[in-house]
Amino acid sequence: EIVLTQSPGSLSLSPGERATLSCRARQTLTSNYLAWYQQKPGQAPRLLIYDASSRATGIPDRFSGSGSGTDFTLTISRLEPEDFAVYYCQQYNNSPWTFGQGTKVEIK
């Protein structure tokens, strides 16, 4: 199975700052089938980015995804109060689908 490693494990930032989250795959995602999700306490995950760089419906343009192959990045250009949450990457390039362990974005 494809192991995804997210870094950092947690990120302490202030509203208005830029957040850069990393996701590294142990094998190449040949079709760049990588997604990013946001999860807040007590809620189901929400799809933010699919196919590495496409924003899901209704997702603000301060969220952007980039990368290819084994290295992927989620960038939040200016953090809003509602953006403090846990973020997961997921690959759906190969079965079994796998998730990273998550990055928690906390308020500084």
Partner 1 sequence: QVQLVQSGAEVKQPGASVKVSCKTSGYTFTSHYMHWVRQAPGHGLEWMGLINPRSGSTRESEKFQGRLSMTRDTSTRTVYMELFSLGSEDTAMYYCARSYGESYYGAFDVWGQGTMVTVSS
Residues of the shown chain interacting with partner 1 in the complex, contacts defined by CB under 8 A: 31, 33, 35, 37, 44-47, 50-51, 56-57, 88, 90, 92-93, 95-102
The contacts of residue 102 (CB under 8 Å, 6+ apart) are 6, 9, 39, 86, 87, 88
Contact status, residue 31 vs residue 72, Cβ threshold 8 Å: no
Cβ 79 to partner 1, closest distance in Å?
Answer: 22
Cβ 98 to partner 1, closest distance in Å?
Answer: 7
* Nearer of residues 84 and 87 to partner 1, judged by Cβ: 87
* Nearer of residues 17 and 54 to partner 1, judged by Cβ: 54
CB burial readout 49-84, b (16+ within 10 A) else e: bbebbebeeebeeebbbebeeeebbbebeebeeebb
* Nearer of residues 14 and 95 to partner 1, judged by Cβ: 95
Cβ 15 to partner 1, closest distance in Å?
Answer: 26
Report the 3 state secondary structure along 16-29.
CCCEEEEEEEEEEE
* Nearer of residues 79 and 103 to partner 1, judged by Cβ: 103
Cβ 46 to partner 1, closest distance in Å?
Answer: 8
